[in-house]
Amino acid sequence: MRAWLLPLALAGVLVLALSAWVAFRPRPEGVRRQRRRATGLTAAPAGASDADRVAWVLGKLTGTPPRRIPRDGVLRDVLGRVAAEDFLAAVGREFRTELTLAEDRLGMTVAQFAAYAAHVRRGRRKPRTGGRKRSPRTTGDVLDRLEAPLLALASELGLRRDWDLDQARRHVTKEYLRWNARIHLAAREEERASVQARLEAIGRLREALAPARR
């Protein structure tokens, strides 16, 4: 009877040793770093604005409290040593979309990038099915060639990629008139300068939406 106890005991020892090796075996540094990054970048709090969500990701990547991330800070400066590819991947997971950004566009502010990310997220949603015939030249065709500040402005104004150019220009014109009314109410010179800069940017956006001359 004792003869079969020895093999059984040896099998138990081998199982315990294998379990210990799996649990405590050394892992490559890259694997450990990737696991810390995946578990550290939790989702932003529910109800956070787009700018707060971007600040949340920046805070997790840079080790800075999200509330201390300046919304008007230049993205390149805020990122510091964080690679742009890692940042874009993290924000893409937060917004549940794929984001790309040229190196020369890292000069936008955190708030502008939040608007840009929101625009990309909206633009990549599947269009509704139906019998509506779309224009062969859409607003999205123009937005794809805009520099980052105007692209962010287009997102803030609520432009849609599937709009035809006439609809987009009408929308931008309404926004221009709304901001033009504010300039007469601005009490300080700084406010007037800010509103004037906004008007000039909206004007450039409307020019970009003009149909191409043949």
Query: Taking a C-beta distance cutoff of 8 angstroms, is the pair 159, 127 a contact?
Result: no
Query: Taking a C-beta distance cutoff of 8 angstroms, is the pair 88, 100 a contact?
Result: yes
DSSP string, 44-71: PPTT--HHHHHHHHHHHHHT--GGGS-T
129: pLDDT strictly greater than 80: no
Give yes or no: residues 99 and 171 share one domain: no
* Count: domains in the chain: 2
| DSSP tag of 28 | -
Structural domain harbouring 74: 47-123
Higher pLDDT, 7 or 120: 120
Give yes or no: residues 111 and 53 share one domain: yes
- Centre a 10 Å sphere on the Cβ of residue 148 and count the other Cβ atoms it contains: 20
Any idea which of 26-40, 103-117, 123-137 has the lowest mean pLDDT?
Answer: 26-40
| pLDDT range class, residue 73, cuts 50, 70, 90 | very high
Give yes or no: residues 119 and 151 share one domain: no
Give yes or no: residues 153 and 190 share one domain: yes
pLDDT tens-digit map of 133-169: 444 478 888 887 887 778 888 887 888 888 899 999 9
Residues 6+ apart with CB under 8 A from 160: 122, 123, 139, 168
| DSSP tag of 108 | S
| pTM, full prediction | 0.58
Neighbouring-strand partners of residue 164: 138
User: What pLDDT is recorded for position 135?
Assistant: 45
Q: Does 185 map to a domain?
A: yes
Query: Taking a C-beta distance cutoff of 8 angstroms, is the pair 172, 157 a contact?
Result: yes
Q: Does 172 map to a domain?
A: yes
Q: Does 115 map to a domain?
A: yes
| Average pLDDT of span 123-134 | 53
- Choose one of 69, 93, 123: the last residue of a domain: 123
Helices (DSSP H) in 157-188: which residue ranges? 165-183
Give yes or no: residues 148 and 100 share one domain: no
- Choose one of 73, 99, 123: the last residue of a domain: 123
Give yes or no: residues 213 and 150 share one domain: yes
| pLDDT range class, residue 177, cuts 50, 70, 90 | very high
